[in-house]
Amino acid sequence: MAAQAASERVTALLATANESISAGSYAKASETLREASHIEPRNPKVQDVWKLLQSKSVTRDAVESIRNYIGSQQEEIGQKAIQDLKESQLGPHESLEAIGLLLHSDPGLPLSDQLTSTLLIAHKEARKVLADRLASNPTDVYNEVYGKGDATFNAFASLPSDDTLWPSKEVQVEAQKDVFRLNIATLIAAGVESPERAMKAVARQVALAPENVADLLDEDTFDVLLSSLDIRQEQNLRSQSMLAIAKVLETTGDEGAEIFSQYIGTRVAKGTNDELIMAFSAASAVFPMVPAVVSKLFMTDGFVQQLVPNLEKNSEAAAAGKR
């Protein structure tokens, strides 16, 4: 074949191969590229399209591996899906498909949390897809992600702080507020699964950008954070609450100190064993942060004198089977 004719033929084949790749017809693209390689094996353009086809094939394999794992629930197929996600680079379409598959799969699927978190960590397009959904429908997205597990929720909770994912600062700040509200609502709900998951996200927000949620740091938020300091709660929840309340008190200043004082005073006034334990737990935890405020509470006439007999009385009643 003459050199000019060969060059024209390769150009036409490359155009066909690119069209096939765009259409997702990878087998046809491979066949076309084999012919082009036979004609001009050292043509750098041919090699570039081969690389493109390989990357697209891996991407497709990642989505198909996810689909196959969800259908089969076999460990080895799930591990292959995780590896495929790490080695591929998903585009917007594939990211949307992969997120849809994983978020609507059974939350009890053993590798669901690991797969979804790997998708979000490894693929920026996937994070963009979820950020867009968060902006338009925060409650549904939050609920879908929360049930997946710690790794997935941690990856999700980092989205509002990623400046590159949002079309404007206003949209980003609104997303931060939405997630903050939803975390507080989750912590208020009775019997919520893994409350430390939501508390960690609250602590993250107030650590990174407390000014963006300053108007949400009200009595309800204080009540949630301070009640989570209850000595009877799990240590991981109390630790995250400590981190959060420290920054919240720093952000709110005198107003926050006043809300804290009201929280303690209200519980002491109720006088039940539960309320007194919560008051003491909060006061002892917060003392290193605002010692002047807590010291003032304890030095108030009758404060300690009221607490001790109430605790003794309620402990005796509890032992007798009464409140």
Residue 129's alpha-carbon distances to 86, 114, 135, in angstroms, are 18, 18, 10
Rounded CA separation 263/158 (Å): 31
Of the listed ranges 4-13, 157-166, 226-235, 304-313, the one predicted with least confidence: 304-313
pLDDT in tens, 180-203: 999 999 999 988 889 999 999 999
pLDDT computed for residue 318 by the predictor: 44
pLDDT for residue 57: 54
Token readout for 218 is 């009200």
Query: What does the pLDDT read at residue 121?
Result: 96
What per-residue confidence (pLDDT) applies to 302?
A: 52
Residue 280 has pLDDT above 80, yes or no: yes
Q: What is the pLDDT of residues 85-120, one digit of tens each?
A: 998 888 888 899 999 999 999 878 999 999 999 999
Grade residue 276 by pLDDT with cuts at 50, 70 and 90: confident
Report whether pLDDT(218) > 70: yes
Mean pLDDT in residue range 256-283:
88
Q: Where are the alpha helices (DSSP H) in 147-234?
A: 150-157, 169-188, 195-208, 219-227
Nearest C-alpha neighbor of 157 from the set 96, 86, 207, 95: 207
Radius of gyration of the chain (CA): 28
Q: Note the pLDDT of residue 99.
A: 95
Of the chain, the percentage scoring pLDDT greater than 70 comes to 88
CA distance 309 to 322: 16
Given pLDDT bands bounded at 50, 70 and 90, which one contains residue 307?
Answer: low
Provide the pLDDT confidence category of residue 301 given band limits of 50, 70 and 90. very low
Average pLDDT, whole number, for the chain?
A: 86
Residue 32: its pLDDT value, please?
87
Is pLDDT above 80 for 30? no
Task: Round to whole Å and give the CA distance between 45 and 218.
Answer: 61
Residue 317 has pLDDT above 60, yes or no: no
Q: What is the reported pLDDT for 67? A: 87
